[in-house]
Amino acid sequence: MTTSLTIRTDHRRKVRPLPIKDDIVMALRQEIVEGGFKPGEKLSESRLAEHYGVSRTPVREAIKQLELEQFVTVERRRGTFVRVMTVPEVLDLYEVREALEGMAARLCAQRADNTLLSRLDGILRRMEVMVGEDDRSAYLACDLELHAAIFEGANNLRLLEQYGLLTIHMQRDLLGHIVTGIAGRMARSMSEHGDLVQAITLRSADEAESRMRSHVISGRQELASSMALTHAAPAKQRVARGRHLDHLVE
């Protein structure tokens, strides 16, 4: 059964037909990932029902599903909250990302056609421009596009599915902004991507996997250092370093 579901957000989304429970799960999950609902924020069933223009029953079912997926936590007598990721969890996810992306780079070097290799080169050139302009948001968008293209070149649907689930859980956009904002990280990232694309273009599978793993490890290490400094700093300095990191707990 489907219904016309009005999703009310700050962006004034249009009415569109959605199956009730499953697509509330999708819509709420997406809003959490995009920051529409902040980590630690309390979620009211009645307000969500009003927000999505439905009864409380499908909202309650959606919350149960998102609790299983670890996007929300349900605390007895307190209510439902957007789950706050811990620092160790984020770093663990980076280790999983290293394995998946390393395999994707290897397969891309072996399987990508020349058209895709040209796309990688084009994306890389745009990234160079963004580094010169110090445009972090545009650089991150190109970064995500490059990694997505590498998974496309890997031509392995199951690998792509696993990466999709991983990026949702680790809130790749949010962490990407944090890492890219670290002093000097954008230039270092650009150099790493250059070496990676070169290895893929040369069809060197071992080198491509090694370069990708090194790239992810580098980002993980710099993120870990930034987190450590942020959580050790007084509150005023935390704000100066960036509010995003306060969404993570020890």
Residues 78 and 103 in one domain: no
Residues 31 and 98 in one domain: no
Residues 69 and 98 in one domain: no
Q: What CATH number should be reported for the domain holding residue 240?
A: 1.20.120.530
Of the residues 82, 109, 126, which one is the last residue of a structural domain?
82
Of the residues 35, 67, 82, which one is the last residue of a structural domain?
82
CB 134 within 8 A of CB 181: no
CB 43 within 8 A of CB 79: yes
CB 43 within 8 A of CB 80: yes
244: its two tokens: 């995003």
For residue 103, the model assigns a pLDDT of 98
For residue 241, the model assigns a pLDDT of 33
Residues 101 and 183 in one domain: yes
Containing structural domain, residue 217: 87-247
Residues 134 and 219 in one domain: yes
How many CA atoms, within 13 angstroms, populate the side-chain half-sphere of residue 84? 14
How many CA atoms, within 13 angstroms, populate the side-chain half-sphere of residue 246? 13
Total domain count for the chain?
A: 2
191: its two tokens: 């150099």
H or E segment to which residue 57 belongs: helix 56-68
67: its two tokens: 């609790």
Residues 74 and 91 in one domain: no
Residues 108 and 219 in one domain: yes
Main-chain dihedrals φ then ψ at residue 39, nearest 5 degrees: -55, 130
Residues 113 and 214 in one domain: yes
Residues 39 and 99 in one domain: no
Q: Give pLDDT tens digits along the chain (250 positions).
A: 444 454 454 444 444 555 688 989 989 988 887 778 888 999 999 999 999 999 999 999 999 999 988 889 999 989 999 988 777 888 888 999 999 999 999 999 999 999 999 999 999 999 999 999 999 889 988 999 999 999 999 999 999 999 988 887 776 555 666 677 787 889 999 999 999 999 999 999 999 999 999 999 998 998 888 766 555 544 443 333 333 444 444 3
Helices 45-52 and 20-34, packing angle to 10 deg: 100
For residue 228, the model assigns a pLDDT of 67
207: its two tokens: 């080198």
The total number of residues written for the chain in this structure:
250
For residue 70, the model assigns a pLDDT of 81
Q: What CATH number should be reported for the domain holding residue 71?
A: 1.10.10.10
Specify burial of residue 69 (Cβ count, 10 A radius: 0-12, 13-18, 19+). Answer: middle
CB 247 within 8 A of CB 84: yes
Residues 57 and 120 in one domain: no
CA distance 239 to 216: 26
Of the residues 54, 82, 110, which one is the last residue of a structural domain?
82
CB 220 within 8 A of CB 94: yes
CB 137 within 8 A of CB 183: no
Per DSSP, the residues of 214-243 read HHHHHHHHHHHHHHHHHHHS-HHHHHHH-G
For residue 86, the model assigns a pLDDT of 79
For residue 211, the model assigns a pLDDT of 98
75: its two tokens: 């605390």
Residues 124 and 165 in one domain: yes
Residues 17 and 124 in one domain: no
